[in-house]
Amino acid sequence: MNLFISHSSRNANYGNALVELLIGIGISADDIIFSSNDAFGIPIGQNIFNWLRTKISEKPYVLYLLSPEYYKSVACLNEMGAAWIIESSHTMIFTPNFDLRSYDFQNGALDPREIGFYINNENKLLAFIESLKTSFSITNNSVLINQKVKQFISVIKPFFQIETSLSKNASEVNEKQVSIANIEMQPIIKKETITNRIISVSPNRSRFYSDLINDKLKDEELLLAKYIIDTDKFKLGTGWQESNEISNIKAWEDVHELSNVLSNSYNGTIRRLDMKKLTEVSAFTSFGNPKEISFVDEFKHELLDPSDELNEKLKEVIEKHKRNESLDF
């Protein structure tokens, strides 16, 4: 049986630590499917949607790494729905900042009455490992298991400390924005002045955001943003891997019944984002040529937590590029 870790790419740090724990207690690396790590992810040349569909249909043991980011990801919710339909064995694991009372969790595909556990709960982790023994080959060395669990807890501890700090900072920024928005101004200059003042208290905004506010984004750039949000992919193929990425984009366009605007202009769109300093090379070939790009942190955050302005623009561009007739599948 394979073990599939369904997660948001924004929680890849927790997922990587979890993979190391599972391997450390005896589970074969070949049995683990974890798309945020190339060693456990989608093979080169495979279509992401078809590959995941095949793996899920094989009824793997699913670990749902649930977080606020998970429920904001269309790709994650699709994975959850597919796995739920085939009734895979599964376990729910919650990141420390996840609220079990959230509407999305209480009304989602997974039964909120099932027992899950928070990822930083040492005793629950030990009980979880014991339960895996019915499906996987786990070491019987209890001392080793305890060591691996303690090591795991120490590795992930900084993750939620950083999340707490970022959440606090975000709240402070929101308070400043509300304060600025309430300042009384003359009607003629009110909109422009408020916008400029809000940007000034948010220095980490990307060029993408400023172009969005000033209505300077091309349709292809907005469609690429929607593709990234839907697929939860923040690393894209370039160079010799560009054709694979374009194939994935075409599959996404087919699913959403969109014209091929993005797939036909992918190379130019990536080059425009590069000129705006929104991308960076994240992997090279053995000859030193780029084969993968990732996005700068500011741009990632704007897509992971899209503003009302961005959501509105994405709706408009999707409607604009809908095909005239539906596709038959």
Positions marked catalytic? 79
Query: Could you identify the residue written with the tokens 């900072």?
Result: 169
CB atoms within 10 A of CB 70: 26
Query: Could you identify the residue written with the tokens 């939620």?
Result: 160
**Stretch (H or E) spanning 5:** strand 3-6
Query: Could you identify the residue written with the tokens 């303690």?
Result: 150
Distance CA 269, CA 264 (A): 10
Rg of the chain over Cα atoms, rounded to whole angstroms, equals 22
Three-state DSSP state, 23:
helix
Distance CA 275, CA 270 (A): 9
Distance CA 1, CA 242 (A): 33
Measured CA to CA in angstroms, residue 213 lies from 100, 311, 315 at distances of 35, 12, 16
- Which tokens sit at 88? 């895979």
- Which tokens sit at 290? 């780029």
